[in-house]
């Protein structure tokens, strides 16, 4: 009876590289260098913009800049208190008008779709995301300022324009966050006897709350720097206005635009300070949104 013997496999030293590894390593290094160079080239304009805004605007920012109204363009000093007040006023109204409706729209799309209506909503939301802001300003101007109701310029119509800009961002981000909620949570809620609206309110929305907050903060960061819609709706002013509607309202982006287009050095310096202020506000909202998102990822 013959017995077969197993021939041991030849020993390959670990120091010996497999065939073709040198070529793969070369391609990997080339790709790494190319991507790094592309990233550096893309960051150069951003770094230059940040450097120039900081260099020109840091000397203007002071307590007076945030608390005093704008003087005549030739005069130094003063500030954009009217613009900061108007921006906060308009953004507060825009948040109330856009975020609840955007989240409610996303809830309908995710929890009650898909159907023809949800498909149409998603299509128009995608279209609205890419519409230039000046078109939104023209729409609100023709509909509310001089059209239906003839409301004139003011805080409310400016907030409507900003809310229209924020609405598709809130809707799309909220939709994605709601889709990330596991169906097991919904099924567990149904298994305990909860109705659909109870499941949405007490299970789905709390589970998606960090993501909803992040998307809302990013929408606010987008809306706070818009200029074109406000030029046709709020119109702008250099004094603090408390009126809800009927009187032109100021905003930092509009004061920045008008200060940068006049020929006097003092007014241009204030515009640089406003640019740095807007940059810091947008940066603050973006950092907060990222922080909330990272905390939510860690907790999960």
pLDDT digits (tens, 9 = 90+) for 64-108: 899 998 888 888 888 899 999 999 999 999 999 999 999 999 999
Closest residue by Cα to residue 170 from 229, 213, 119: 213
> How many other CB atoms are found less than 10 A from the CB of residue 139?
18
**pLDDT at position 298 over 70:** no
Residue 147 falls inside a structural domain: yes
Q: What are phi and psi of 249, to 5 degrees?
A: -115, 145
Residue 19 falls inside a structural domain: no
The H or E element containing residue 268 is helix 265-299
pLDDT-wise least confident of 8-12, 55-59, 248-252, 269-273: 8-12
Residue 181 falls inside a structural domain: yes
Residue 32 falls inside a structural domain: no
pLDDT-wise least confident of 21-30, 122-131, 161-170: 21-30
CATH number of the structural domain spanning residue 117: 1.10.3720.10
Residue 183 falls inside a structural domain: yes
Taking residues 135-154, what's their average pLDDT?
Answer: 88
**pLDDT at position 13 over 70:** no
Answer whether 107's CB lies under 8 Å from 199's CB: no
Owning domain of residue 150: 80-299
* Residue 18: predicted pLDDT: 61
Residue 176 falls inside a structural domain: yes
* Residue 1: predicted pLDDT: 46
% the chain with pLDDT above 90: 46
**pLDDT at position 233 over 90:** yes
Residue 184 falls inside a structural domain: yes
Residue 64 falls inside a structural domain: no
Q: Which two tokens stand for residue 49?
A: 């913009």
* Residue 236: predicted pLDDT: 87
d(CA 254, CA 260) in angstroms, rounded, equals: 10
**DSSP-based three-state secondary structure for 182:** coil
* Residue 74: predicted pLDDT: 86
Taking residues 116-120, what's their average pLDDT?
Answer: 89
Q: What one-character DSSP code corresponds to residue 235?
A: B
Going 204 to 205 to 209 to 213, the CA torsion angle's sign is positive
Total domains, the chain: 1
């Amino acid at each position: 009876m013959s017995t077969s013997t197993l021939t041991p496999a030849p020993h390959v030293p670990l120091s010996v590289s497999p065939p073709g590894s040198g070529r793969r390593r070369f391609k990997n290094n080339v790709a790494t260098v190319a991507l790094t160079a592309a990233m550096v080239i893309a960051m150069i304009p951003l770094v230059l913009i940040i450097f120039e805004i900081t260099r020109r605007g840091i000397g203007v920012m002071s307590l007076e800049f945030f608390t005093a109204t704008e003087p005549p363009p030739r005069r130094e000093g003063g500030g954009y208190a009217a613009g900061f007040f108007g921006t906060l006023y308009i953004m507060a109204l825009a948040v109330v008008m856009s975020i609840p409706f955007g989240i409610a729209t996303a809830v309908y799309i995710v929890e009650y779709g898909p159907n023809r209506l949800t498909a149409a909503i998603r299509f128009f939301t995608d279209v609205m995301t890419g519409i230039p802001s000046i078109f939104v300003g023209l729409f609100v101007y023709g509909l509310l300022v001089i059209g239906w109701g003839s409301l004139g310029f003011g805080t409310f119509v400016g907030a409507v324009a900003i809310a229209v800009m924020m609405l598709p961002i809130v809707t799309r981000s909220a939709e994605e966050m709601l889709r990330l909620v596991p169906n097991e949570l919904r099924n567990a809620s149904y298994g305990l006897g909860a109705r659909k609206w109870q499941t949405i309110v007490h299970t789905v929305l709390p589970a998606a709350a960090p993501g909803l907050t992040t998307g809302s903060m990013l929408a606010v960061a987008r809306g706070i720097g818009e200029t074109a819609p406000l030029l046709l709706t709020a119109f702008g002013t250099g004094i603090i206005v408390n009126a809800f509607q009927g009187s032109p309202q100021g905003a930092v982006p509009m004061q920045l635009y008008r200060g940068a287009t006049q020929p006097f050095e003092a007014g241009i310096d204030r515009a640089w300070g406003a640019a740095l202020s807007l940059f810091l506000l947008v940066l603050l909202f973006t950092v907060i949104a990222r922080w909330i998102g990272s905390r939510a990822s860690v907790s999960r």
